[in-house]
Structure 1
């Protein structure tokens, strides 16, 4: 008996709340939700194309047998050069590794790569110092920082170019 009363109550509640159902509002709401989801997916796709986001295994090569040919300093320097090239694109003229400073730090288990990159136009370029720390067990860059020379104010550069 109680179950029948509950079913009647549920049916009454359902008809009260859904009798005002308007398919036009439903389709508008449906479009808003679908549009929002598509927008989020497109934003994430765009971010993955243009942002250099680090994640574990980013530089892992599935074709390579790391037991036979382990990850080494050459791999770390290559990764840092790739990351620097991606950051500066066509503005990067050249780069080189500072072999005296680059090393494997046993305490942090990171390859610490220090390099220089020449960035700008061929006749007007500047040297950028790059610190790039690569985690060989995660196949990813743990830390990346490029130190660009500070530029003087526009007035100082104008005066400097006049020879003053």
Structure 2
């Protein structure tokens, strides 16, 4: 089943509404999926529109903050696993945002049901070289990062 939404465009239903699109992330085009939590009836909450619209309006300004939060998370995770002492090829030394950008790929934007958090709620999912199975996720509320972790924090 498909719908044509005024904000999101053409969406297809697959346990939620999905659209594949291309977005600029840090100067390079990324093929991503936008996933909107909703029932089959196609009713998308006003708060979900606000969350997505606000993210897109602030997209260019927010990206460096995403990268810094991911870098901080990676450095902490690498330390917790002991790979800052013992070498692990899956967790190489990454000290700069440029090095990080070579190792992550934006793959999705999730617009969850509006009742999860107070405010504009959005998730970003990434593939990363250091954890292919779990990936990487960011959860934003009102365009502020509230959680960095595996992809499931963004869903």
More helix by share: 1
* TM-score, normalised relative to structure 2: 0.32
Larger Rg over CA atoms = 1
Relative contact order: is structure 1 or structure 2 higher (C-alpha 8 Å, sep ≥ 6)?
2
